[in-house]
Amino acid sequence: MKKFDFPSLFRSHRVFSINIIIVICILIPLFFVPSSPSEEIPDTGWDGVPIETDFDLNDVVTINGTSALAIGESGKIFYTENSGNNWSEEDSGTIQDLNSIEFVDVPIAVGDSGVVLVKDGDNWFDNSIVGASNLYDVSVVNYQSLNDSLVFVSGMDGEVWKWYNNSWIDLSSVTGVNSDIYGIDFVNETHGIAVGVNGVIIGTDDGGASWEPRDVPEAVQGFSFYDVAFINPIRAFVVGENGTLLRSSGTGDSAIGYNWLVWDTGSSSTINSIGYSSINKVWIVGNDNFIALTKDGGKSFYNQSQPQTIDTDFSGVSFIDGSNGFMVGESGIALYTNREGIDPAQLDTAKSFDTFWVYAEYAYPFLKEGMINTLKIIFLAIFMGFTIGVTLAVFKTSQLNIRIPLSMPREDGTWNFVNFNPLRFFATIYTDIFRNTPLLVQFFFIYFGLVEVGIDLTFEGILGEDRALERAYGSAVVALGLNSGAYQTEIIRSGIQAIPAGQMEAGRSIGLTYLQSMRYVVLPQAIRIVIPPLGNETVNLVLNSSLASAIGFGEITRKGRLLISLTFETFWTWGLVLIFYFAITYTLANILKYVEKRLKIPGLGLGGEE
């Protein structure tokens, strides 16, 4: 191999060039290890499983990993139990268009002219609403039997009906809406949301007895909304025209559905339906072949590919778990996936990555974002840790003593005292706790635990609603900062104790107070002495910041995991992540070396003479 010609700057610093060689040693295998073998990776994320009909399909419900029911125009109902390889038509007993289907113990479908169908055993049973117009959506809260069930339906001109106590109750007059309601969903017996044409979002907290309009963000006012998913008491989604996705989140008891935020789907097509397997893993489908998946609750959507070449409008999507699902659209089009709809080969137009460079180009934006996030948390945490460290180190070395009598006075009138220093006591408890528990558990406690008792680490109160931090971000900074603070306390304390007592006495003897002597005499010397161990601690903090990935903060390790889930290139990905970490810590270490050199004072510390 050709000898590397480093600039003289590098050559003059032996340590520097040794580290460069380490980086190169990591880089070389990255270049020479080939891409992971890609045997039998399907072309697309979805398999076409068309139904032999020309009618449009309007909705689908997945019953288990391989079975599904699809409904469509003219009362069509199709059933499959082998992943869509064969579809059999079922006798619905109606020729009205069917618009929506749900499966809670039994399938229930709704359609035009008040049609409501319930599948009882092998047959569809008619439970239609007399006097109702076209019904667009159904939400089954529970179903034991026909006379012990709770079902809501919504439809044309603001109609909402409730099936309860074996009869249909008309709630249309209390919704306050007389335009079409396309979507309705109840999370439990009392809380529900309905959405529709012209930007309508209404909600109920009392089982439909009363409804009130909910605030719609200005950016999407007047848009039509086509589906709503009230997933659980802390999360709901609404989709509609122009690629609109709205999300509402709540914590604990606070009701959600009041505040809606617009999330970017990266599409301008109309979105028709929502499918989900958890609050974070959500599929949305719509017009113009639009299918997208988010795995982080809507923060980022990735478009999915499917074998359909003609422009198709998809009308329904349904997932039973994290990987198996169906979707349907115009003219009998049906699709099935057993792999989340994710298709490795189609993720990037560059297809598979033949060489490391091609892969690196694809990975760079992910890793860059992760690196920026990592830098953000480490700088805030270093600052926080240093502040805590200096304060608690001063606490620990403080001379404040409260004399606490141990018992009654002795016979000669003197007392038995114990000296108690509350500042040192507090600092000791703090450092003992944080240094004797795993950092990962501290992360979990701060992220998952504190929110339970109402401690909100988004800092919304300080920063304001607009600039509030992502909770994982705030938690990561606080966890790292508190933990590093404990270690920095011990380091700075040792520095303070290394300064001869005479320095404090000299400061006091010219009239400085204790704190002034600390501030102007002892600390400036102590901190200079402990710059090397503080540097070690800073490097530790950077390495520990990778644990923030466990609470879902998008720092570089988490981005690495994401990259692997997208590309399956484990060797290259983790190799690059290693290099990114190395770049951060190595730069940091050099900055600290420089700072140490700049602050060096002749005669202070070992080897101080120049």
Partner 1 sequence: MSEDETPVIRVKNLEKIYTGGVHAVKGVSFDVLPKKVVVIIGSSGSGKSTVLRCINRLIEPTEGEIFLEDVQINSPSTNINEIRSEIGMVFQSFELFMHLKVLDNVSLGLTKVRGYSKEKAENIAKDVLAKVDMSDKIDVYPGQLSGGQKQRVAIARSLAMNPKVMLFDEPTSALDPELIGSVLESIKSLVAEGMTMVIVTHEIGFAKEVGDWIIYMDDGKVVEAGPPEIIGEPKTERMKKFLGQILEA
Residue of 446, 346, 315, 277 whose CA lies nearest to 45: 346
Phi and psi at 338, nearest 5°, equal -120, 20
Cβ atoms of 608 and 600 within 8 Å: the answer is: yes
Give 452-470 as a DSSP string.
GGT--TT-HHHH-TTTPPP
Give the length of the chain: 610
Cβ atoms of 191 and 172 within 8 Å: the answer is: no
Give 285-329 as a DSSP string.
EETTTEEEEESSTTS-EEE---S--S---EEEEEESSSS-EEEEE
CB of 515 to partner 1, least distance (A): 11
Q: Per-residue b/e over 4-40, b at no fewer than 16 CB within 10 Å?
A: eeeeeeeeeeeeeeebeeeeeeeeeebeeeebeeeee
- The kind and range of the H/E element at 162 are strand 160-164
Q: Which is nearer to partner 1, 516 or 565 (CB)?
A: 516
Residue 450, judged by CB atoms within 10 A of its CB (0-12, 13-18, 19+), counts as middle
CB of 420 to partner 1, least distance (A): 16
CB of 493 to partner 1, least distance (A): 18
| DSSP 3-state of 275 | strand
CB of 387 to partner 1, least distance (A): 21
- Which long-range contacts does 404-408 make (Cβ < 8 Å, 24+ apart)? none
HSE at residue 490, side-chain half, CA atoms within 13 A, is 15
CB of 427 to partner 1, least distance (A): 23
Q: Which is nearer to partner 1, 357 or 420 (CB)?
A: 420
CB of 524 to partner 1, least distance (A): 5
CB of 394 to partner 1, least distance (A): 17
Cβ atoms of 344 and 61 within 8 Å: the answer is: no
Specify the DSSP class assigned to residue 489. Answer: H
- The three-point CA angle 187-46-182 to 5° equals 35
C-alpha–C-alpha distance, residues 531 and 374, integer Å: 22
Amino acid at 71: I
CB atoms near residue 87 (< 10 Å): 21
Residue whose structure tokens are 């923030």: 548
Q: In this structure, what token pair is assigned to residue 9?
A: 């700057």
Q: Which is nearer to partner 1, 25 or 606 (CB)?
A: 606
CB of 519 to partner 1, least distance (A): 9
Q: Which is nearer to partner 1, 105 or 505 (CB)?
A: 505
Q: Which is nearer to partner 1, 63 or 512 (CB)?
A: 512
C-alpha–C-alpha distance, residues 164 and 547, integer Å: 50
- The kind and range of the H/E element at 269 are none
CB of 539 to partner 1, least distance (A): 25
List the end-to-end C-alpha distance of the chain, in Å, as a whole number.
Answer: 41
Q: Which is nearer to partner 1, 170 or 505 (CB)?
A: 505
CB atoms near residue 378 (< 10 Å): 27
Enumerate binding residues for partner 1 (CB under 8 A): 500, 502-503, 505-513, 516, 520-521, 524-525, 528, 601-604, 608-609
Q: Which is nearer to partner 1, 33 or 506 (CB)?
A: 506
CB of 499 to partner 1, least distance (A): 9
C-alpha–C-alpha distance, residues 442 and 452, integer Å: 15
Q: Which is nearer to partner 1, 34 or 500 (CB)?
A: 500
Q: Which is nearer to partner 1, 454 or 502 (CB)?
A: 502
Q: Which is nearer to partner 1, 22 or 601 (CB)?
A: 601
CB of 520 to partner 1, least distance (A): 6
Q: Which is nearer to partner 1, 86 or 516 (CB)?
A: 516
CB of 595 to partner 1, least distance (A): 15
Task: Give me the sign of the Cα torsion angle 212, 217, 223, 227.
Answer: negative
Q: Which is nearer to partner 1, 236 or 504 (CB)?
A: 504
Q: Which is nearer to partner 1, 37 or 603 (CB)?
A: 603
CB of 586 to partner 1, least distance (A): 29
- The kind and range of the H/E element at 78 are strand 77-80
